Homo-oligomer: A and B are copies of this chain.
Amino acid sequence: MTDERRKIMRVLSGETLIPPPLWLMRQAGRYLPEYRETRAKAGSFLDLCYSPDHAVEVTLQPIRRYGFDAAILFSDILVIPDALKRNVRFTEGHGPEMDPIDEAGILALKPEGILAHLAPVMETVRRLRRELPVETTLLGFCGAPWTVATYMIAGHGTPDQAPARLFAYRHPKAFEHLLMLLADISADYLVAQIDAGADAVQIFDSWAGVLGEKEFAAYAVKPVAKMIASVKARRPQARVIAFAKGAGYLLKTYRQKTGADAIGLDWSVPLAFARELQKDGPIQGNLDPMRVVAGGKALEEGIDDILRHLGSGPLIFNLGHGITPQADPANVSTLVERVRGWRN
Protein backbone atom coordinates (compact mmCIF):
# COMPACT_ATOMS: atom_id res chain seq x y z
CA MET A 1 0.00 0.00 0.00
CA THR A 2 1.15 3.52 -0.64
CA ASP A 3 2.66 5.52 2.15
CA GLU A 4 -0.02 7.49 4.03
CA ARG A 5 2.18 10.58 3.84
CA ARG A 6 1.59 10.86 0.08
CA LYS A 7 -1.28 13.33 0.13
CA ILE A 8 -2.03 13.15 -3.57
CA MET A 9 -2.53 9.39 -3.28
CA ARG A 10 -5.01 9.98 -0.48
CA VAL A 11 -6.98 12.44 -2.60
CA LEU A 12 -6.85 10.01 -5.50
CA SER A 13 -8.55 7.50 -3.20
CA GLY A 14 -11.34 9.98 -2.54
CA GLU A 15 -10.20 11.76 0.60
CA THR A 16 -10.66 15.51 1.02
CA LEU A 17 -7.55 17.25 2.35
CA ILE A 18 -7.55 20.85 3.54
CA PRO A 19 -5.59 22.55 2.12
CA PRO A 20 -5.54 20.45 -1.06
CA PRO A 21 -2.21 19.02 -2.21
CA LEU A 22 -0.77 20.55 -5.36
CA TRP A 23 1.54 20.16 -8.30
CA LEU A 24 1.70 21.96 -11.65
CA MET A 25 1.58 20.51 -15.12
CA ARG A 26 4.98 21.10 -16.79
CA GLN A 27 6.41 22.14 -13.41
CA ALA A 28 9.81 20.95 -14.63
CA GLY A 29 10.21 23.38 -17.47
CA ARG A 30 11.65 26.40 -19.15
CA TYR A 31 10.37 28.94 -16.61
CA LEU A 32 13.04 27.60 -14.23
CA PRO A 33 16.64 28.83 -14.78
CA GLU A 34 18.00 25.54 -13.39
CA TYR A 35 15.95 23.66 -16.03
CA ARG A 36 17.34 25.80 -18.84
CA GLU A 37 20.82 25.10 -17.55
CA THR A 38 20.35 21.32 -17.57
CA ARG A 39 18.52 21.52 -20.89
CA ALA A 40 21.51 23.30 -22.47
CA LYS A 41 23.79 20.44 -21.43
CA ALA A 42 21.53 17.64 -22.58
CA GLY A 43 21.75 17.75 -26.38
CA SER A 44 18.38 17.28 -28.09
CA PHE A 45 15.07 17.34 -26.25
CA LEU A 46 14.73 13.57 -26.72
CA ASP A 47 18.26 13.12 -25.36
CA LEU A 48 17.03 14.88 -22.24
CA CYS A 49 14.02 12.54 -22.01
CA TYR A 50 16.20 9.44 -22.44
CA SER A 51 19.02 10.47 -20.12
CA PRO A 52 18.20 9.26 -16.59
CA ASP A 53 20.82 11.62 -15.13
CA HIS A 54 19.33 14.70 -16.74
CA ALA A 55 15.67 13.61 -16.55
CA VAL A 56 15.97 12.84 -12.83
CA GLU A 57 17.64 16.19 -12.24
CA VAL A 58 14.96 18.27 -14.01
CA THR A 59 12.14 16.27 -12.40
CA LEU A 60 13.59 17.02 -8.96
CA GLN A 61 14.26 20.72 -9.56
CA PRO A 62 10.71 21.99 -8.89
CA ILE A 63 10.40 19.64 -5.89
CA ARG A 64 13.52 21.17 -4.35
CA ARG A 65 12.38 24.69 -5.07
CA TYR A 66 8.68 24.45 -4.15
CA GLY A 67 8.10 21.14 -2.38
CA PHE A 68 5.19 20.19 -4.61
CA ASP A 69 3.16 17.20 -3.44
CA ALA A 70 3.85 15.33 -6.66
CA ALA A 71 6.81 14.98 -8.98
CA ILE A 72 5.93 14.09 -12.53
CA LEU A 73 8.41 12.09 -14.54
CA PHE A 74 10.13 14.35 -17.05
CA SER A 75 9.38 12.92 -20.47
CA ASP A 76 7.14 13.56 -23.48
CA ILE A 77 3.98 11.97 -24.85
CA LEU A 78 5.75 11.48 -28.18
CA VAL A 79 8.25 8.91 -26.88
CA ILE A 80 5.65 6.32 -27.94
CA PRO A 81 5.73 7.25 -31.67
CA ASP A 82 9.49 7.57 -31.26
CA ALA A 83 9.59 3.98 -29.98
CA LEU A 84 7.47 3.08 -33.02
CA LYS A 85 10.27 4.46 -35.22
CA ARG A 86 8.31 7.44 -36.57
CA ASN A 87 11.45 9.60 -36.65
CA VAL A 88 10.32 12.03 -33.98
CA ARG A 89 12.31 15.25 -33.70
CA PHE A 90 11.96 18.44 -31.69
CA THR A 91 13.38 21.44 -33.50
CA GLU A 92 13.62 24.73 -31.60
CA GLY A 93 10.72 27.01 -32.55
CA HIS A 94 9.01 24.35 -34.71
CA GLY A 95 7.13 22.17 -32.28
CA PRO A 96 7.45 18.40 -32.56
CA GLU A 97 7.66 16.75 -35.97
CA MET A 98 7.69 13.18 -37.20
CA ASP A 99 7.12 11.23 -40.40
CA PRO A 100 3.37 11.32 -41.09
CA ILE A 101 1.81 7.88 -41.23
CA ASP A 102 -0.74 6.62 -43.76
CA GLU A 103 -3.10 3.64 -43.87
CA ALA A 104 -0.45 1.19 -45.08
CA GLY A 105 2.00 2.53 -42.53
CA ILE A 106 -0.47 1.93 -39.73
CA LEU A 107 -1.10 -1.64 -40.80
CA ALA A 108 2.65 -2.21 -41.01
CA LEU A 109 3.37 -0.88 -37.51
CA LYS A 110 5.27 -3.41 -35.43
CA PRO A 111 4.78 -2.82 -31.72
CA GLU A 112 8.01 -4.59 -30.86
CA GLY A 113 10.84 -3.55 -28.62
CA ILE A 114 8.84 -0.62 -27.25
CA LEU A 115 9.67 -1.15 -23.61
CA ALA A 116 13.31 -1.87 -24.44
CA HIS A 117 13.45 1.46 -26.29
CA LEU A 118 11.86 3.15 -23.26
CA ALA A 119 14.07 1.42 -20.67
CA PRO A 120 15.87 4.69 -19.81
CA VAL A 121 12.51 6.18 -18.83
CA MET A 122 11.89 3.36 -16.39
CA GLU A 123 15.43 3.80 -15.04
CA THR A 124 14.55 7.48 -14.46
CA VAL A 125 11.40 6.47 -12.56
CA ARG A 126 13.35 4.01 -10.42
CA ARG A 127 15.95 6.58 -9.49
CA LEU A 128 13.30 9.21 -8.84
CA ARG A 129 11.49 7.02 -6.35
CA ARG A 130 14.75 6.56 -4.50
CA GLU A 131 15.64 10.24 -4.47
CA LEU A 132 12.26 11.83 -3.83
CA PRO A 133 11.05 12.66 -0.33
CA VAL A 134 8.81 9.91 0.98
CA GLU A 135 5.78 12.23 1.08
CA THR A 136 6.08 13.12 -2.61
CA THR A 137 3.79 11.21 -4.94
CA LEU A 138 5.59 10.11 -8.08
CA LEU A 139 3.48 10.44 -11.21
CA GLY A 140 4.13 8.63 -14.44
CA PHE A 141 2.29 9.58 -17.61
CA CYS A 142 1.65 9.01 -21.26
CA GLY A 143 -0.41 10.59 -24.01
CA ALA A 144 -3.89 9.30 -24.78
CA PRO A 145 -4.12 7.34 -28.04
CA TRP A 146 -6.21 10.02 -29.78
CA THR A 147 -3.76 12.81 -28.99
CA VAL A 148 -0.72 10.72 -29.91
CA ALA A 149 -2.45 9.60 -33.11
CA THR A 150 -3.18 13.21 -34.17
CA TYR A 151 0.56 13.90 -34.28
CA MET A 152 1.32 10.60 -35.99
CA ILE A 153 -1.20 11.31 -38.76
CA ALA A 154 -0.30 14.96 -39.41
CA GLY A 155 3.40 14.59 -38.66
CA HIS A 156 3.19 17.75 -36.51
CA GLY A 157 0.77 19.81 -34.43
CA THR A 158 -2.04 21.73 -36.16
CA PRO A 159 -4.60 24.27 -34.89
CA ASP A 160 -7.45 21.75 -34.64
CA GLN A 161 -5.96 18.42 -35.66
CA ALA A 162 -8.04 18.39 -38.84
CA PRO A 163 -5.73 15.86 -40.55
CA ALA A 164 -6.49 13.19 -37.93
CA ARG A 165 -10.21 14.01 -37.87
CA LEU A 166 -10.27 13.66 -41.65
CA PHE A 167 -8.22 10.47 -41.62
CA ALA A 168 -10.59 8.94 -39.07
CA TYR A 169 -13.60 9.71 -41.28
CA ARG A 170 -11.89 8.31 -44.36
CA HIS A 171 -10.23 5.25 -42.85
CA PRO A 172 -12.20 4.36 -39.72
CA LYS A 173 -10.84 0.81 -39.54
CA ALA A 174 -7.17 1.72 -39.86
CA PHE A 175 -7.67 4.55 -37.40
CA GLU A 176 -9.35 2.25 -34.88
CA HIS A 177 -6.45 -0.17 -35.35
CA LEU A 178 -3.96 2.61 -34.62
CA LEU A 179 -5.81 3.72 -31.49
CA MET A 180 -6.09 0.20 -30.11
CA LEU A 181 -2.44 -0.50 -30.82
CA LEU A 182 -1.50 2.73 -29.04
CA ALA A 183 -3.82 1.83 -26.15
CA ASP A 184 -2.11 -1.55 -25.71
CA ILE A 185 1.41 -0.16 -25.93
CA SER A 186 0.55 2.73 -23.63
CA ALA A 187 -1.03 0.46 -21.03
CA ASP A 188 2.12 -1.68 -20.99
CA TYR A 189 4.20 1.47 -20.71
CA LEU A 190 2.16 2.73 -17.74
CA VAL A 191 2.41 -0.66 -16.02
CA ALA A 192 6.18 -0.54 -16.53
CA GLN A 193 6.28 2.94 -14.99
CA ILE A 194 4.24 1.73 -12.03
CA ASP A 195 6.51 -1.26 -11.59
CA ALA A 196 9.48 1.07 -11.65
CA GLY A 197 8.01 3.10 -8.81
CA ALA A 198 5.29 5.46 -10.08
CA ASP A 199 2.47 5.74 -7.54
CA ALA A 200 -0.08 7.00 -10.03
CA VAL A 201 -0.18 7.90 -13.70
CA GLN A 202 -1.79 10.66 -15.74
CA ILE A 203 -3.13 10.17 -19.27
CA PHE A 204 -2.96 13.38 -21.30
CA ASP A 205 -5.63 13.78 -23.99
CA SER A 206 -4.60 17.30 -24.94
CA TRP A 207 -6.66 17.32 -28.16
CA ALA A 208 -9.90 15.80 -26.85
CA GLY A 209 -11.64 19.15 -27.41
CA VAL A 210 -11.63 19.03 -31.21
CA LEU A 211 -13.79 15.91 -31.38
CA GLY A 212 -17.51 15.66 -32.07
CA GLU A 213 -19.60 13.69 -29.60
CA LYS A 214 -19.48 10.32 -31.38
CA GLU A 215 -15.80 10.65 -32.12
CA PHE A 216 -15.16 11.57 -28.49
CA ALA A 217 -16.84 8.33 -27.45
CA ALA A 218 -14.95 6.25 -30.02
CA TYR A 219 -11.54 7.95 -30.06
CA ALA A 220 -11.14 9.57 -26.65
CA VAL A 221 -13.23 7.48 -24.24
CA LYS A 222 -12.92 3.97 -25.64
CA PRO A 223 -9.11 3.65 -25.92
CA VAL A 224 -8.55 5.37 -22.57
CA ALA A 225 -11.10 3.05 -20.94
CA LYS A 226 -9.24 0.11 -22.48
CA MET A 227 -5.92 1.37 -21.13
CA ILE A 228 -7.24 1.98 -17.64
CA ALA A 229 -8.95 -1.42 -17.49
CA SER A 230 -5.72 -3.07 -18.62
CA VAL A 231 -3.59 -1.18 -16.08
CA LYS A 232 -6.01 -1.79 -13.23
CA ALA A 233 -6.40 -5.48 -14.02
CA ARG A 234 -2.66 -5.88 -13.69
CA ARG A 235 -1.87 -3.28 -10.99
CA PRO A 236 -5.01 -2.81 -8.89
CA GLN A 237 -3.28 -0.40 -6.51
CA ALA A 238 -2.44 2.08 -9.27
CA ARG A 239 -4.35 5.34 -9.49
CA VAL A 240 -5.10 7.02 -12.80
CA ILE A 241 -5.79 10.66 -13.59
CA ALA A 242 -7.33 11.27 -17.02
CA PHE A 243 -7.06 14.76 -18.49
CA ALA A 244 -9.24 15.39 -21.55
CA LYS A 245 -8.43 19.01 -22.36
CA GLY A 246 -11.29 20.96 -23.92
CA ALA A 247 -13.83 18.15 -23.50
CA GLY A 248 -16.24 20.59 -21.84
CA TYR A 249 -19.73 19.23 -21.43
CA LEU A 250 -18.56 15.71 -22.34
CA LEU A 251 -16.63 15.52 -19.08
CA LYS A 252 -19.98 14.76 -17.45
CA THR A 253 -19.60 11.03 -18.00
CA TYR A 254 -15.86 10.85 -18.71
CA ARG A 255 -14.81 9.50 -15.33
CA GLN A 256 -17.50 6.86 -15.26
CA LYS A 257 -16.92 5.76 -18.85
CA THR A 258 -13.11 5.61 -18.67
CA GLY A 259 -12.76 4.27 -15.14
CA ALA A 260 -10.33 7.05 -14.18
CA ASP A 261 -9.89 7.70 -10.46
CA ALA A 262 -9.60 11.44 -10.99
CA ILE A 263 -10.26 13.75 -13.90
CA GLY A 264 -8.17 16.74 -14.85
CA LEU A 265 -9.97 19.95 -15.72
CA ASP A 266 -8.71 22.69 -18.03
CA TRP A 267 -9.20 26.35 -17.13
CA SER A 268 -12.30 26.71 -19.33
CA VAL A 269 -14.31 24.33 -17.11
CA PRO A 270 -16.79 26.41 -15.07
CA LEU A 271 -16.36 25.94 -11.34
CA ALA A 272 -20.04 25.10 -10.76
CA PHE A 273 -19.71 22.30 -13.32
CA ALA A 274 -16.42 21.23 -11.72
CA ARG A 275 -18.26 21.04 -8.39
CA GLU A 276 -20.79 18.68 -9.98
CA LEU A 277 -18.00 16.52 -11.39
CA GLN A 278 -16.38 16.46 -7.96
CA LYS A 279 -19.47 14.79 -6.49
CA ASP A 280 -18.43 11.67 -8.40
CA GLY A 281 -14.82 11.73 -7.22
CA PRO A 282 -11.55 13.64 -7.12
CA ILE A 283 -10.78 16.37 -9.64
CA GLN A 284 -7.56 18.14 -10.56
CA GLY A 285 -7.13 21.69 -11.82
CA ASN A 286 -7.78 24.24 -13.10
CA LEU A 287 -6.05 27.63 -12.90
CA ASP A 288 -5.40 29.47 -16.16
CA PRO A 289 -1.60 29.33 -16.62
CA MET A 290 -1.75 32.95 -17.80
CA ARG A 291 -2.76 33.94 -14.25
CA VAL A 292 0.62 32.64 -13.07
CA VAL A 293 2.33 34.78 -15.69
CA ALA A 294 0.24 37.82 -14.75
CA GLY A 295 0.76 37.40 -10.99
CA GLY A 296 -0.75 39.85 -8.49
CA LYS A 297 -4.51 40.11 -8.17
CA ALA A 298 -5.23 37.95 -11.22
CA LEU A 299 -3.24 35.11 -9.64
CA GLU A 300 -4.72 35.50 -6.16
CA GLU A 301 -8.32 35.77 -7.33
CA GLY A 302 -7.96 32.75 -9.60
CA ILE A 303 -6.54 30.62 -6.78
CA ASP A 304 -9.17 31.80 -4.28
CA ASP A 305 -12.05 31.08 -6.66
CA ILE A 306 -10.91 27.50 -7.14
CA LEU A 307 -10.35 26.92 -3.44
CA ARG A 308 -13.69 28.47 -2.49
CA HIS A 309 -15.64 26.37 -5.01
CA LEU A 310 -13.70 23.14 -4.92
CA GLY A 311 -11.52 23.15 -1.82
CA SER A 312 -14.06 21.38 0.36
CA GLY A 313 -14.09 18.23 -1.74
CA PRO A 314 -11.41 15.90 -3.10
CA LEU A 315 -9.15 18.27 -5.06
CA ILE A 316 -5.62 18.21 -6.39
CA PHE A 317 -4.77 21.83 -7.02
CA ASN A 318 -3.14 22.32 -10.40
CA LEU A 319 -3.16 24.51 -13.47
CA GLY A 320 -5.65 23.99 -16.29
CA HIS A 321 -2.74 23.38 -18.71
CA GLY A 322 1.06 23.42 -18.52
CA ILE A 323 2.90 26.35 -16.97
CA THR A 324 4.47 28.50 -19.69
CA PRO A 325 8.10 29.60 -20.09
CA GLN A 326 7.34 33.25 -19.35
CA ALA A 327 5.98 32.51 -15.84
CA ASP A 328 8.03 34.17 -13.09
CA PRO A 329 9.25 31.55 -10.58
CA ALA A 330 8.38 34.04 -7.82
CA ASN A 331 4.71 33.84 -8.84
CA VAL A 332 4.88 30.07 -8.41
CA SER A 333 6.09 30.64 -4.84
CA THR A 334 3.10 32.92 -4.25
CA LEU A 335 0.81 30.25 -5.63
CA VAL A 336 2.25 27.51 -3.43
CA GLU A 337 2.05 29.68 -0.29
CA ARG A 338 -1.50 30.79 -1.02
CA VAL A 339 -2.77 27.25 -1.60
CA ARG A 340 -0.92 25.92 1.44
CA GLY A 341 -2.24 28.74 3.60
CA TRP A 342 -5.86 28.11 2.77
CA ARG A 343 -8.36 26.96 5.38
CA ASN A 344 -12.01 26.68 4.48
List the one stretch of A48-56, A134-142, A263-271 in contact with chain B: A263-271
Asked if A250 is at the interface of the complex by the 8 Å CB criterion, the answer is: yes
Number of interface residues of A (CB under 8 A): 38
Q: Nearest B residue to A172 by beta-carbon distance?
A: B298
What is the minimal beta-carbon distance from A228 to any residue of chain B, in angstroms? 22
- Considering only residues 143-192 of chain A, those with a C-beta below 8 Å from chain B are 159-160, 162, 165-166, 169-170, 172
Instruction: Give the segment of A59-67, A72-80, A286-294 that binds chain B.
Output: A286-294
A271 to B248, CA, bound (A): 14
The answer to whether A324 and B288 have CB atoms under 8 Å apart is no
User: Roughly how many angstroms separate A215 CA and B216 CA in the complex, as a whole number?
Assistant: 26
Of chain B, the residue at the smallest CB distance from A214 is: B305
**CB 8 Å contact bits of A299-328 with B (1 = contact, 0 = none):** 000100100000000000000110010000
Question: Contacts of A106 on B, CB cut-off 8 Å?
Answer: none
A53 → B minimal CB distance (Å): 32
Determine if B165 and A212 form an interchain contact, defined as CB atoms under 8 angstroms apart: no
A246 / chain B contacts, CB cutoff of 8 Å: 209, 246, 248, 268
With contacts A209-B209, A209-B246 taken as known, whether A166 is within 8 angstroms of B290 at the C-beta atoms is yes
Distance of A248 Cα from B169 Cα, bound (Å): 23
A209-B209, A246-B246 known; A169+B291 contact, CB < 8 A = yes
Interface residues of A in 251-299 (CB under 8 A from B): 267-271, 273, 288-291, 293-294, 298
A293 to B160, CA, bound (A): 15
* A7–B119 alpha-carbon span in the complex (Å): 64
**Interface set of A (CB-CB < 8 Å, partner B):** 159-160, 162, 165-166, 169-170, 172, 209-216, 246, 248-250, 267-271, 273, 288-291, 293-294, 298, 302, 305, 320-321, 324
